[in-house]
Amino acid sequence: MRHLVRVLVAVTSSLAALSFSTAVHAGATPSNVGSTAADVAFVQRLMFSTPLAKFSAIARSRIGPDGIPGNGWFDWSTDLCSAPLVGNSGATYNFTEPCRRHDFGYRNTQLLDRRYGLGRYWNHAGRARIDVQFYADMRGACAHRRLLDRPFCYTWAAVYFVAVRTFGGP
């Protein structure tokens, strides 16, 4: 039994070292690798407390928690709205930036889960909160459309919301 414990400790230590080494080689240096609390707070702040226009500027520059552009620790990739046929904009709506933030939320909540604890961040409640923010962001985008376009825009926002709630994950 004692031998088995030693083997498990050795394997776990090796995997932890390999994981850190991989993160460093992938562009994450010790100066931009955060703690669990700092990483969670950063994702939460960008998702739920940062105005959409400011989020968009941060996302385009990949500005991390340290304020330096080019951050590689978080997942900044996006496919914008991957809605088949309709994309992220139409004659009466443009959901490009709401989709960018929604992708950031999904991708980085899943990333937090992989790094810090399975099921702790990417779960039904967390995804629902991201989806509700997505809906609010789309409705905010609709509020800036021409008065005649707004009802159509709000309808599209509802369609996108139902789609992500139905097909988005856990």
Q: If the chain, 170 residues long, is cut into consecutive pieces of 10 residues, what is the mean pLDDT of each piece?
A: 39 36 38 74 95 94 87 88 72 91 95 86 92 97 94 94 85
Q: Domain spanning 34-167: which CATH class is it, in words?
A: mainly alpha
Instruction: Give residue 27's Cα distance to chain centre.
Output: 19
Tokens of 87: 């994309």
Question: What is the model's pLDDT at position 80?
Answer: 84
pLDDT at 33 (0 to 100): 55
Q: Residue 65's pLDDT is what?
A: 87
Q: Give the count of beta carbons closer than 10 Å to the beta carbon of residue 109.
A: 23
Burial class (CB in 10 A: 0-12, 13-18, 19+), 106: buried
**Whole-number Å distance between alpha carbons of 144 and 90:** 14
pLDDT in tens, 39-70: 999 999 999 999 999 999 999 999 888 888 88
Domain residue ranges of the chain, discontinuous segments joined by + = 1-30, 34-167
Whole-number pLDDT of residue 16: 37
